[in-house]
């Protein structure tokens, strides 16, 4: 991995680690699906007009949007509405073992007993996190679990579309996701317009961070890395994001650093690390 790739991966995980706090702050005033639709609308407005996909690229972006829009982002925002930022930052790490499983199925990457042990550890840690009384509601934790899987699935789809420029994916994935997520908000949420109109500066600042830093800068860098490098060479860097997310949740939001979080987080991250260290010898 080149030094420039390493720097970009580190920038991405720092942005994403702090993004959990930004989302948690924003969903405190705006319903999660409405916030997701608002995020997609702003990103699409800023990016989509300047990056047009071909017909073939459009079809593949449509598949990515179906997974990332309601699947990853929508459920992530729902999860953070009902769980604290630290728990969400750790739960979303299950995207790493999910990525390895999907990479094995799609790209015939090798999975062995050691990796299987790592996966058991990662999911056991997540189960421990789910047992914390104050960590989050069952709905929120379930949403985070599915969100992690959708993130892993989207990584595979992006890996199979290296010819599509990252900004094209970002802009048009956002544009194509708006009707679905907005429709879900209309069905399942109430008071969206009033919430948006009454939102304070802290919420709008958090949304600006979500849109500019996380949605555009971080995902632009991430899609470039995924398209150019092995999935299992890039994904391990996400191990740093939960550490930042947990620290930010505790220091910025005042969340409790409980034994559940510490033990479950260490177990989950150790399991993910085992998976990736074992797979390192097979990286392309």
Calculate mean pLDDT across residues 190-219.
94
Q: Residues, the chain, total?
A: 284
Q: pLDDT at position 108, please?
A: 67
Across 58-67, 109-118, 132-141, 264-273, the highest mean pLDDT is recorded for 58-67
Least confident residue range of 76-85, 101-110, 180-189: 101-110
Per-residue pLDDT at 20 = 94
236 contacts 107 by C-beta, under 8 angstroms = no
SS3 letters across 131-163 = CCCCCECHHHHHHHHHHHHHHHHHHHHHHCCCC
User: Of 48-57, 140-149, 227-236, 249-258, which range is least confident?
Assistant: 227-236
Phi, psi of 17 (to 5 degrees): -60, -45
Question: pLDDT, tens digit, for every residue of 250-260?
Answer: 999 998 888 88
Q: Which residue has the tokens 């073939």?
A: 56
What is the model's pLDDT at position 283?
46
Cα–Cα distance, 224 to 17 (Å, whole number):
19
- What gap in Å lies between CA 150 and CA 138, rounded to an integer? 18
Label residue 232 by pLDDT band (50, 70, 90): low
pLDDT at 279: 58
H or E segment at 282?
none
Highest mean pLDDT pick, 25-29, 129-133, 214-218? 25-29
Q: What is the pTM of this model?
A: 0.86
pLDDT in tens, 91-139: 988 887 888 788 777 766 666 777 788 888 988 888 888 777 777 899 9
Token pair listed for 214: 């996380």
Task: Write down the H helix ranges in the chain.
Answer: 3-26, 32-47, 55-66, 75-82, 85-91, 95-107, 113-130, 138-159, 166-188, 192-198, 201-208, 219-228, 231-234, 240-252, 259-279
Mind spelling out the 3-state secondary structure of 16-48?
HHHHHHHHHHHCCCCCHHHHHHHHHHHHHHHHH
Q: What is the mean pLDDT of the chain?
A: 88
Q: Which residues contact 133 (CB under 8 A, 6 or more apart)?
A: none
Confidence band (pLDDT; 50, 70, 90) for 284? very low
């Amino acid at each position: 991995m080149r030094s420039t790739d390493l720097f970009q991966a580190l920038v991405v995980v720092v942005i994403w680690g702090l993004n959990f706090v930004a989302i948690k702050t924003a969903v405190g005033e705006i319903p999660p699906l409405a916030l997701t639709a608002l995020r997609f609308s702003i990103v699409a407005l800023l990016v989509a007009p300047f990056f047009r996909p071909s017909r073939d690229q459009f079809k593949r972006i449509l598949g990515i949007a179906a997974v990332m829009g309601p699947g990853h982002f929508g459920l992530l925002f729902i999860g953070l509405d009902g769980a604290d930022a630290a728990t969400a930052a750790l739960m979303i790490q299950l995207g790493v073992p999910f990525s390895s499983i999907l990479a094995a199925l799609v790209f015939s990457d090798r999975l062995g007993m050691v990796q299987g042990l790592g996966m058991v550890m990662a999911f056991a840690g997540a189960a421990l996190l789910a047992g914390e009384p104050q960590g989050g509601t069952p709905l929120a934790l379930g949403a985070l679990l599915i969100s992690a899987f959708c993130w892993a699935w989207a990584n595979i789809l992006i890996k199979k579309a290296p010819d599509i420029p990252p900004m094209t994916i970002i802009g048009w994935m956002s544009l194509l996701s708006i009707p679905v997520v907005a429709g879900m908000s209309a069905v399942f949420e109430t008071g969206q317009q009033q919430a948006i109109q009454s939102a304070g500066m802290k919420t709008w600042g958090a949304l600006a961070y979500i849109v500019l830093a996380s949605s555009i800068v971080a995902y632009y860098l991430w899609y470039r890395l995924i398209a150019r490098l092995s999935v299992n060479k890039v994904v391990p860097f996400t191990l740093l994001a939960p550490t930042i997310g947990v620290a930010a949740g505790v220091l910025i939001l005042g969340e409790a650093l409980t034994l559940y979080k510490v033990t479950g987080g260490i177990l989950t991250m150790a399991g993910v690390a085992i998976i990736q260290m074992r797979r390192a010898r097979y990286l392309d």
